[in-house]
């Protein structure tokens, strides 16, 4: 079929774009966008976890992969901005929606028994999110600011073996390991609701709700716990 | 005034078609200059509002609830009849017509009933097109169940919530018209009077129930679709707000009120548990498809059960009296409602009632569960299933069919009906009587129409199950929109009806005066006190069985209660605010008049027919001994009462009923 | 049993309200919750005070009129019931019961426990229908077979009584269960396909305009819904809107 770029096609496209734009302004569109950013973040978290896990088994392998991630053009200039966008969008929209939702109640209940019908995690995403945000500030200060400095501001020559050492060094002080642990517990709680919630938001739970709940539970326990164990491992083995 | 039913001539099969072909129509351009008021948004009012608006009329619809969707049609459980003959079991328009006339004990107008049967099939088509999710079988086609009083399966249903689904269908059609601006919806408004100008109904006075404001609304015609008056008994299956005010107000302004004594006492309701009871809950008649009704045979067992020494499940088959199967072997548990109700009363009056109040019989599903269980075991190829397995399989089927009803029962009574028989007792459910209307559904006030349960027309002295939904929707979707056009065709040049005429002035003042009286009357007793008192008289003396002495007493007692009410009623709060007690006061004031007319009508009708049972009129010998005895020679007429100031002074007008297409016979369900 | 009731009293929409304590005695465990309220009101009327205004009508759990937030839950502590079907056997002698109106900015209080739910009406008017005129000439009801499964699922969605418990319960006052149920009913049936895209877009737009909050999938609505409307209906609405927007 030949492509006919007539005016009507253009008009249709414009209408579609308008509808699409409307979609992301609607309550459902926003929650779909929250879910999409969440999917990205969950995939990011998974790969991050796998790379970190490598550090337990082989410093060399860890350095190799980290070097690749730190220098690959696609990762640095496509995936990294997307990640930053996803993080920023997820947080800002999270706050915007929370404020809107607070306003939607009007007068607060004198007595409200939320525990009777929903989990603590689902009702407190904003608080678990805030703790994760605080942790991210620390994390950025620790790693990301340093990375940007090394690579793009001071433009130091790349040392492919620096990553393992930098990682282990951070886990020497016990306070950081503790902060790390607290943040990941909260991340686990965030994920405990967030994982299935994201699937529900994009309408993908039909017929696989149970399975998704189980995978979500596994994901929200294994990943954060794994991160904590890796931190503890390096803390205890740094000598 | 002589009553003219305006039934068209010709053979019964062609009356409606010929009528439609010959009536005057209003052209589409003129319809937009014509206003119609519809009071009530149940199946009749909702479907009428939507259809009239689709046709192009400007509709103003009124509901006392906060949404049209909450009208009490929503509570109808079992189903809706239609002569579709999808089951191929011999159903036809004629058979539905015949069953309805027979079920109504030959006290309805043939032509109306035939028309009802004729349009019944259209209703199902219309509702399916609207997206009403009727039950379907595995082939994807519509499923049917059977109901009391008939020998075919013609009842369409949506689980146990058929009324809800049909009403939501009509409501969705209304919403479409509200969005188009063709229906102006007045929620939380109550009609308090009709305004008659130059002999024609031209508007209403309504109270805004939120602000208390009294409003005038004008129109070229007024349609009353406000439901029945079952709450005259205080306890009934009606909603708490269901009332007769709209119907009674038009009666007082000239609309005749027909056959008030025809009231349906539904056999399967949850029994009363105490004096605080505010309403009764119906369990769908469809339960009688599978449930068997019984009381113990022996008085010792009755006493043992009441004292808690024995459980109903302890009684063996020969210790039980399945009295409906015993008395009516052909129809068994599926006899019409009036017959089933009286049979329960008969057993309970004889002392066999199985609860503390002595007013309950059992509805038992054990044999259905066993039967279904065995069937399922066969289907699933289970060899020699254990008793437990059979019960488990059977309970699943019963759950699929009646799950929501069983759950409702368990929530109310706190007993598991899968394990122990339900207890049921009759309760007031539906009123066949109502505002008299002609073939056009117009009352004796020109331009004032009455549809649905509020009118008297199609069910005679007793309504068959699943026929109320049929009638409400038939009136609203398929009858009134035609007939009203014939009348409105004379109004195309009338122009907007002004609301500043003396008639509106006067009507508003009368409404305001009555409200002021209630607010300022510093009485000592609440509205409910009087309503309960009225209800007790009605139930005891004008209930399932009536006699001359009791009815005379009832008339004078109701009059006394009414007089006391006007002296002693106490309404807290003020007029210009939301005031539920004030709303109730107005409604009860009208019930106190209607109740007396009800008793008067029952006293006049010295025969037993359908829901009206006179103890003086029973068969004294033969196979039908003890059964109701109708008197066609003297009472084959509609009793239409004209208001003359006091209910006791009402004047009787008779519309003689002619049966040309059905032979008058004694109903026999033996 | 004897009870202490803490009830929200508010004269009208523009007045400020507050919680007021009442005592009721000799309440039977077989009473429904609203019958207990009747007892209180009779007591108040006899004492010359104004009775508590509350919405109620059918008292058999189907009209959706009753709407109380009892002890921190919509329609009280029982499951699968409306306030009118809640029975006093759920409470104990000496209990203190807190009774509030359904709260949402989109459900302003009219008086005491009565709230204005016309926002739901406007959402339905925005597209909660199939555009078919009454004619008597629509095609035969059996012309389009519909799989039993789809019909049953549509029925489950259609059992919504529009009471607003989902909104009252949701920590975000979101109306998605209500809207999702209506969108689903039509989305599941062939009759609803023609207008499906416009319907979901318009209904969601109206829902947002009314000021309901956003769904965060806590699932509280499904638990408190007296008719057990499934969360799947929200997922389906999300899909429908995505489909309609691409």
Condensed to tens digits (0 to 9), the pLDDT of residues B517-552 reads: 999 998 999 999 999 999 999 999 999 999 999 999
DSSP 8-state class, residue B438: -
B337 as an active site residue: the answer is yes
Q: Residue A239 has what pLDDT? A: 61
Alpha-carbon distance of A169 to A163, in angstroms, equals 10
Q: Does domain B508-656 have CATH number 3.40.50.11810?
A: no
Residues on chain A touching C172 (C-beta within 8 angstroms): 97, 101, 104-105
Interface test with C, best of B28, B57, B68, B70 (most C CBs within 10 A): B70
Give one DSSP letter per residue of B284-309, joined into a string. Answer: -GGGGGT-EEEEESSHHHHHHHHTTS
Contacts of A209 (CB under 8 A, 6+ apart): A196, C232
Alpha-carbon distance of B602 to B252, in angstroms, equals 20
Residues on chain B touching C135 (C-beta within 8 angstroms): 126
Interface test with A, best of C119, C172, C206 (most A CBs within 10 A): C172
From the number of C-beta atoms within 10 Å of its C-beta (0-12, 13-18, 19+), residue C80 rates as middle
What's the whole-number average pLDDT of chain C?
96
Smallest CA–CA distance from C18 into chain A, residue: A110
Q: Residue A206 has what pLDDT? A: 84
Task: Tell how strand B58-62 and strand B183-186 pair up.
Answer: parallel
In this complex, do A113 and C72 lie within 8 Å of one another by their Cβ atoms? yes
Give one DSSP letter per residue of B121-185, joined into a string. Answer: HHHHHHHHHHT----B-TTSSBP-B--TT-SS--EE-STT-HHHHHHHHHHHHHHHHHHTTSEEE
Of the candidates B593, B595, B591, B587, the residue with the CA atom closest to the CA atom of residue B542: B595
- Name the neighbours of B, counting chains with at least 3 Cβ pairs within 8 A: C
From the number of C-beta atoms within 10 Å of its C-beta (0-12, 13-18, 19+), residue B566 rates as middle
In this complex, do C217 and A203 lie within 8 Å of one another by their Cβ atoms? no
Condensed to tens digits (0 to 9), the pLDDT of residues B568-626 reads: 999 999 999 999 999 999 999 999 999 999 999 999 999 999 999 999 999 998 888 88
Q: Residue A1 has what pLDDT? A: 40
Q: Residue C230 has what pLDDT? A: 96
Q: Are C101 and C110 in contact (CB under 8 A)?
A: no
The alpha-carbon gap from C162 to the nearest alpha carbon of chain A, in Å, equals: 18
The alpha-carbon gap from A108 to the nearest alpha carbon of chain C, in Å, equals: 7
Tokens of C234: 């929200």
Residue B661 CA, distance from chain mean position: 26
Alpha-carbon distance of B170 to B414, in angstroms, equals 35
Q: In this complex, is the C-beta atom of A8 within 8 Å of any C-beta atom belonging to chain C?
A: no
Contacts of B264 (CB under 8 A, 6+ apart): B337, B338, B428, B429, B430, B431, B432, B462, B463, B611
In this complex, do C51 and B54 lie within 8 Å of one another by their Cβ atoms? no
Residue-wise burial string across B44-78, b where 16 or more C-beta atoms lie within 10 A, e elsewhere: bbbbbbbbbbbbbbbbbbbbbbbbbbbbbbbbbbb
Q: What is the CATH number of domain C3-111?
A: 3.10.20.30
Residue intervals in chain C for CATH 1.10.1060.10: 118-245
What's the whole-number average pLDDT of chain B?
95
Q: Residue A2 has what pLDDT? A: 44
Q: Residue B2 has what pLDDT? A: 73
Q: Residue A13 has what pLDDT? A: 55
Interface test with C, best of A108, A118, A127 (most C CBs within 10 A): A118
Show me where the domains of chain B are located.
Answer: 273-426, 508-656
Condensed to tens digits (0 to 9), the pLDDT of residues B226-260 reads: 999 999 999 999 999 999 999 999 999 999 999 99
Choose the closest CB to C125 out of B178, B276, B408: B178
Which ranges of chain C have pLDDT less than 50? none
H-run or E-run covering B38 = strand B35-39
The alpha-carbon gap from A88 to the nearest alpha carbon of chain C, in Å, equals: 19
pLDDT greater at residue A238 or residue B13: B13
Whether the per-residue pLDDT at A16 is higher than 80: the answer is no
Instruction: Name the B residues in 301-360 with CB < 8 Å from any C CB.
Output: none
Task: Tell how strand C96-101 and strand C3-9 pair up.
Answer: parallel
Q: Choose the CATH number for C118-245 among 3.30.420.40, 1.20.1440.230, 3.90.700.10, 1.10.1060.10.
A: 1.10.1060.10
The alpha-carbon gap from C115 to the nearest alpha carbon of chain A, in Å, equals: 13
Q: Are B595 and B257 in contact (CB under 8 A)?
A: no
Q: Residue A180 has what pLDDT? A: 93
Tokens of B178: 């509200």
Instruction: Give ∠ CA B402-B408-B409 in degrees, rounded to 5.
Output: 90
Name the band, by pLDDT with cuts 50, 70 and 90, for residue A42.
very high
Condensed to tens digits (0 to 9), the pLDDT of residues B475-500 reads: 999 999 999 999 999 999 999 999 99
Q: Residue A220 has what pLDDT? A: 97
Question: Tokens 């709940």 — which residue?
Answer: A213
Q: Choose the CATH number for A31-102+119-236 among 3.30.70.141, 1.20.1300.10, 3.60.70.12, 3.30.1360.120.
A: 1.20.1300.10
Smallest CA–CA distance from C133 into chain B, residue: B54
Among residues B145, B202, B337, B546, the one annotated as catalytic is B337
Could you give the 3-state DSSP secondary structure of residue A54? helix
* Bridge partners of residue B156, in order along the sequence: B80
Question: Tokens 């035939």 — which residue?
Answer: B114
In this complex, do C204 and A100 lie within 8 Å of one another by their Cβ atoms? no
Choose the closest CB to C35 out of B86, B237, B276: B276
Contacts of B182 (CB under 8 A, 6+ apart): B53, B54, B56, B57, B58, B59
Q: Residue B531 has what pLDDT? A: 98
Alpha-carbon distance of C128 to C160, in angstroms, equals 13
Condensed to tens digits (0 to 9), the pLDDT of residues B335-389 reads: 888 889 999 999 999 999 999 889 999 999 999 999 999 999 999 999 999 999 9
Whether the per-residue pLDDT at B92 is higher than 60: the answer is yes
Q: Are B368 and B394 in contact (CB under 8 A)?
A: yes
Q: What radius of gyration, in Å, describes the C-alpha atoms of chain A?
A: 21
In this complex, do C216 and A31 lie within 8 Å of one another by their Cβ atoms? yes
Condensed to tens digits (0 to 9), the pLDDT of residues A174-225 reads: 999 999 999 999 999 999 999 999 999 999 988 899 999 999 999 999 999 9
Tokens of B505: 């002035």
Condensed to tens digits (0 to 9), the pLDDT of residues B382-433 reads: 999 999 999 999 999 999 888 888 988 998 999 999 999 999 999 999 999 9
Whether the per-residue pLDDT at A10 is higher than 60: the answer is no
Q: How many CB pairs under 8 A join B and C?
A: 213
Q: Are B241 and B188 in contact (CB under 8 A)?
A: no
Give one DSSP letter per residue of B450-463, joined into a string. Answer: E-GGGB--SSTTSP
Give one DSSP letter per residue of B507-521, joined into a string. Answer: HHHHHHHHHHHHHH-
Could you give the 3-state DSSP secondary structure of residue B614? strand
Residue-wise burial string across C14-45, b where 16 or more C-beta atoms lie within 10 A, e elsewhere: eeebeeeebebeebbebbbbbbbbbbbbeebb
Q: Residue A147 has what pLDDT? A: 84
Chains A and B touch (3+ CB pairs under 8 A): no
In this complex, do C105 and A104 lie within 8 Å of one another by their Cβ atoms? yes
Interface test with A, best of C70, C97, C217 (most A CBs within 10 A): C217
């Amino acid at each position: 079929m030949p492509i006919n770029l007539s005016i009507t096609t253009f008009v249709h496209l414009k209408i579609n774009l308008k509808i699409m734009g409307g979609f992301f302004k609607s309550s459902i569109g926003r929650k779909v966008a929250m879910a999409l950013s969440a999917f990205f973040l969950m995939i990011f978290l998974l790969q991050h976890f796998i790379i970190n896990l490598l550090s337990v088994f082989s410093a060399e392998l860890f350095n190799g992969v980290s070097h690749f991630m730190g220098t690959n053009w696609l990762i640095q200039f496509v995936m990294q901005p997307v990640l930053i966008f996803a993080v920023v969008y997820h947080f800002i929209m999270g706050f915007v929606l929370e404020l809107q939702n607070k306003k939607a109640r009007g007068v607060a209940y004198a007595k409200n028994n939320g525990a009777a019908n929903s989990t603590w995690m689902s009702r407190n995403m904003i608080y678990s999110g805030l703790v994760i945000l605080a942790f991210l500030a620390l994390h950025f200060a620790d790693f990301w600011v340093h990375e940007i400095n090394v690579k793009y501001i001071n433009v130091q020559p790349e040392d492919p073996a620096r990553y393992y050492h930098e990682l282990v060094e951070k886990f020497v002080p016990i306070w950081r390991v503790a902060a790390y642990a607290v943040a990941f517990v909260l991340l686990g709680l965030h994920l405990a609701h967030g994982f299935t919630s994201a699937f529900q938001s994009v309408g993908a739970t039909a017929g696989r709700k149970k399975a998704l709940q189980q995978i979500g539970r596994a994901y929200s326990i294994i990943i954060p716990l794994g991160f904590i164990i890796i931190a503890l491992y390096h803390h205890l083995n740094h000598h | 005034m002589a009553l003219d039913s305006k039934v068209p001539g010709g053979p019964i099969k062609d009356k409606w078609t010929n009528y439609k072909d010959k009536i005057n129509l209003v052209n589409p351009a003129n319809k937009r200059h014509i206003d119609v008021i519809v009071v009530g948004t149940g199946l009749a009012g909702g479907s009428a509002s939507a259809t009239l608006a689709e046709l192009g009329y400007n509709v103003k619809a009124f509901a006392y609830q906060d949404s049209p969707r909450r009208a009490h049609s929503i509570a109808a459980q079992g189903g809706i009849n239609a002569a579709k003959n999808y089951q191929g079991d011999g159903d036809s328009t004629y058979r539905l017509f015949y069953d309805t006339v027979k079920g109504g004990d030959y006290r309805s107008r043939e032509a109306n009933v035939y028309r009802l049967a004729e349009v019944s099939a259209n209703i199902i088509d219309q509702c399916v097109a609207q997206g009403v999710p009727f039950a379907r079988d595995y082939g994807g086609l519509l499923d049917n169940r059977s109901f009391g009083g008939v020998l075919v399966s013609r009842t369409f249903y949506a689980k146990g919530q058929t009324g809800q689904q049909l009403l939501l269908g009509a409501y969705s059609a209304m919403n479409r018209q509200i969005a188009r601006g063709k229906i102006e919806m007045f929620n939380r408004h109550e009609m308090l009077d009709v305004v008659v100008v130059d002999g024609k109904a031209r508007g209403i006075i309504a109270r805004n129930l939120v602000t208390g404001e009294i409003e005038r609304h004008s129109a070229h015609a007024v349609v009353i679709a406000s439901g029945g008056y079952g709450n005259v008994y205080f306890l009934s299956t009606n909603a708490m707000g269901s009332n007769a005010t709209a119907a009674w107000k038009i009666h007082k302004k000239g609309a005749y009120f027909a056959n008030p004594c025809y009231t349906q006492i539904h056999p399967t309701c949850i029994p009363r548990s105490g004096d605080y009871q505010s309403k009764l809950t119906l369990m769908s008649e469809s339960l009688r498809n599978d449930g068997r009704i019984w009381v113990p045979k022996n008085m010792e067992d009755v006493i043992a059960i009441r004292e808690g020494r024995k459980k109903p499940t302890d009684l063996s088959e020969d210790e039980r009296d399945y009295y409906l199967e015993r008395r009516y072997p052909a129809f068994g548990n599926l006899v019409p409602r009036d017959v089933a109700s009286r049979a329960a009363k008969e057993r309970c009056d004889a002392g066999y009632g199985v609860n503390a109040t002595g007013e309950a019989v059992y509805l038992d599903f054990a044999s259905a569960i066993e039967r279904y269980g065995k069937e399922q075991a066969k289907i699933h190829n289970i060899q020699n299933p254990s008793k437990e397995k059979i019960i488990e399989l059977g309970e699943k089927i019963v759950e699929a069919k009646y799950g929501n009803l069983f759950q409702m029962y368990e929530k109310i009574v706190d007993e598991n009906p899968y394990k122990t028989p339900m207890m049921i007792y009759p309760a007031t459910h539906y009123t066949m009587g109502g505002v008299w209307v002609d073939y056009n559904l117009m009352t004796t006030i020109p331009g004032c129409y009455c549809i649905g349960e509020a009118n008297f027309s199609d069910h005679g002295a007793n309504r068959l199950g699943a026929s109320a939904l049929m009638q409400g929707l038939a009136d609203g979707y398929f009858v009134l929109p035609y007939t009203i056009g014939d009348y409105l065709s004379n109004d195309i040049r009338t122009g907007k009806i002004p609301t500043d005429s003396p008639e509106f002035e006067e009507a508003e003042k009368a409404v305001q005066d009555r409200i002021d009286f209630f607010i300022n009357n510093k009485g000592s007793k609440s509205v409910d006190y009087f309503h309960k008192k009225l209800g007790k008289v009605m139930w005891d003396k004008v209930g399932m069985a009536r006699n001359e002495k009791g009815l005379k007493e009832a008339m004078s007692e109701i009059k006394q209660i009414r007089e006391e009410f006007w002296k002693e009623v106490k309404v807290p709060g003020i007029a210009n605010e939301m005031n539920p007690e004030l709303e109730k006061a107005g409604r009860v004031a009208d019930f106190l008049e209607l109740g007396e007319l009800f008793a008067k009508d029952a006293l006049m009708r010295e025969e037993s027919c359908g829901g009206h049972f006179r103890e003086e009129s029973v068969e004294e010998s033969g196979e039908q001994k003890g059964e109701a005895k109708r008197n066609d020679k003297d009472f084959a007429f509609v009793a239409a009462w004209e208001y003359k100031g006091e209910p006791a002074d009402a004047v009787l007008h008779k519309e003689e009923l002619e049966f040309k297409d059905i032979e008058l016979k004694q109903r026999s369900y033996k | 049993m004897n009870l202490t009731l803490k009830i929200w009293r508010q004269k009208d929409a523009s007045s400020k309200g507050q919680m007021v304590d009442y005592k009721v005695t000799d309440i039977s465990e077989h009473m429904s919750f609203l019958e207990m309220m009747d007892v209180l009101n009779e007591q108040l009327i006899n004492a010359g005070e104004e009775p508590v205004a509350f919405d109620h009508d059918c008292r058999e759990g189907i009209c959706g009129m009753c709407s109380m937030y009892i002890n921190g839950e919509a329609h009280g502590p029982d499951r699968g019931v409306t306030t009118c079907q809640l029975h006093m056997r759920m409470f104990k002698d000496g209990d203190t019961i807190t009774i509030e109106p359904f709260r949402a900015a989109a459900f302003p209080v009219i008086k005491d426990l009565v709230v204005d739910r016309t926002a739901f009406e406007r959402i339905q008017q925005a597209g909660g229908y199939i555009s078919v005129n009454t004619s008597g000439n629509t095609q035969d009801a059996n012309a389009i077979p519909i799989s039993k499964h789809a019909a049953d699922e549509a029925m489950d969605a259609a059992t919504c009584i529009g009471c607003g418990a989902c909104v009252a319960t949701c920590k975000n006052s979101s109306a998605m269960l209500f809207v999702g149920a209506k969108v689903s009913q039509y989305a599941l049936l062939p009759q609803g396909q023609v207008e499906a895209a416009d319907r979901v877009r318009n209904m969601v737009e109206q829902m947002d305009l009314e000021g309901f909050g956003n769904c965060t999938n806590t699932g509280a609505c499904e638990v408190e819904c007296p008719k057990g409307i499934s969360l799947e209906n929200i997922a389906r609405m999300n899909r429908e809107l995505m489909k309609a927007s691409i």
